Amino acid sequence: KTLVALAQKMPKTELHLHIEGTFEPEQMFAIAQRNQVELTYKTVDELKAAYQFTQLQDFLNLYYQGMSVLLHEADFYDLTMAYLTKVHSENVVHVEIFFDPQGHLSRDVPFEVQITGIYNALRDAEKKWGITSKLIMSFLRHLSEESAFETLEQAKPFLKWIDGVGLDSSELGHPPEKFINVFQACRDLGLKITAHAGEEGPPEYVWQAINLIKVDRIDHGNRALEDETLIAEIKKRDLTLTVCPLSNLKLCVVTDMKQHPIRAMLELGLNATVNSDDPAYFGGYMNDNYTALIEKTGINKEELFQLSKNGITCSWMDQITKEAHLKRLD
């Protein structure tokens, strides 16, 4: 119990968060109504009852449906502000959030509409509460590299608001090597690079993320633990793993929270961090993720501090901001 209180109080960062995955059913229905869009599910309860997944794709099908009610700048603003309000109440001091432009461009929602809504909410939350942030545009890996290149073109007028580029959606069958050229173009533009790898995909996909995409960090990375040489490589390169405990449980990446590998990752000396991924779909925000770890894995106080510290040091904040946050940890 005291550990739960400690975790709630700790300054936290969120480094793996899809803003479309924070879409709570109540808000989804409200915006659907406002935009006169029909949802497949008729009630909040019916929708929530469908949140039972046996693999990543089950979730993605609902995730793309859910985001389809987002049409206007105010929708993106309201979604982002609701998330920031929530995490502010949980002592989250810094967020690095993903958005999926192709999931909206496919419905003719302009890039500018999406990013302006999201960016304005990030800016307002920083003014109001001092929450700092980075914005990461993700490419959908089930689409082509050509589509990713077109998205990058759309992003070019807004690069001042974009800190990094990610790779998400259906992992199996869509290895990082499919996107070598577009990530090289992103790197040439000075953008940070991250990619989902080793969530469902094999260690080979993590190798590709490192060697071909040249990632600055790895999202999930669970299956890297199957390959000792890969573990050594991740350590050598000092790469971060953005781990998502409740997501792993809901998507059956782990069968039981008691078996979650995050303590093993810390034991191996890996830079693991705790994140909520798609909290509206996976049963909880940052504090819920920590609570699950505390209640099921026997994680101790030192490990909790290490995770909080990793969240700060492994973020893309500048060094001065990191040091200011780290001071508050002592």
**Does residue number 277 form part of the binding site for Zn ion (CB under 5 A)?**
yes
| Annotated binding residue 277 | yes
Residue 78 near which of ligand HPA, Zn ion, none (CB within 5-8 Å, type-dependent): none
Stretch that binds Zn ion, among 45-53, 149-157, 207-215, 273-281 (CB under 5 A): 273-281
3-state SS of 70-85 is: CCCHHHHHHHHHHHHH
CB of 115 to ligand HPA, least distance (A): 18
Which residue in 24, 73, 75, 199 binds ligand HPA (CB under 6 A)? 199
CB of 20 to ligand HPA, least distance (A): 7
Q: Which is nearer to ligand HPA, 75 or 277 (CB)?
A: 277
Residue listed under structure tokens 């309201």: 78
| Cross-strand partners of 218 | 195, 241
Stretch that binds Zn ion, among 89-97, 113-121, 185-193, 275-283 (CB under 5 A): 275-283
Which residue in 18, 94, 178, 217 binds ligand HPA (CB under 6 A)? 18
Q: Which residues of 261-277 are buried (b: 16+ CB within 10 A; e: fewer)?
A: bbbebbebebbbbbbbb
Please tell me the distance from the alpha carbon of residue 11 to that of residue 272, in angstroms, as a whole number.
Answer: 16
* DSSP-derived secondary structure letter, 277: B
Q: Which is nearer to ligand HPA, 178 or 325 (CB)?
A: 178
Please tell me the distance from the alpha carbon of residue 312 to that of residue 325, in angstroms, as a whole number.
Answer: 7
Residue closest to ligand HPA when measured from CB atoms: 168
Element (H, E) at 188: helix 180-188
Interface with ligand HPA in residues 21-60 (CB under 6 A): 21, 56
Binding mask 62-81 for ligand HPA (x = CB under 6 A): -x------------------
Dihedral, 114, 116, 117, 121 alpha carbons, nearest 10: 140
Please tell me the distance from the alpha carbon of residue 117 to that of residue 19, in angstroms, as a whole number.
Answer: 12
Sheet holding 164-168, edge to edge: 12-18, 92-99, 132-140, 164-168, 192-197, 217-220, 240-243, 271-274
**Does residue number 169 form part of the binding site for ligand HPA (CB under 6 A)?**
yes
CB of 301 to ligand HPA, least distance (A): 29
CB of 169 to ligand HPA, least distance (A): 5
| Annotated binding residue 278 | yes
Interface with ligand HPA in residues 226-265 (CB under 6 A): 247
Q: Which residues are catalytic?
A: 199
Please report the DSSP string for 211-273 in residue order.
HTS--SEEEE-GGGGG-HHHHHHHHHTT-EEEE-HHHHHHTTSSS-GGG-THHHHHHTT-EEE
Q: Which is nearer to ligand HPA, 14 or 199 (CB)?
A: 199
Residues contributing to the site for ligand HPA (CB under 6 A): 18, 21, 56, 63, 168-169, 196, 199, 247, 277-278
List residues binding Zn ion (CB under 5 A).
277
Binding-site residues for substrate, in ranges, read 278
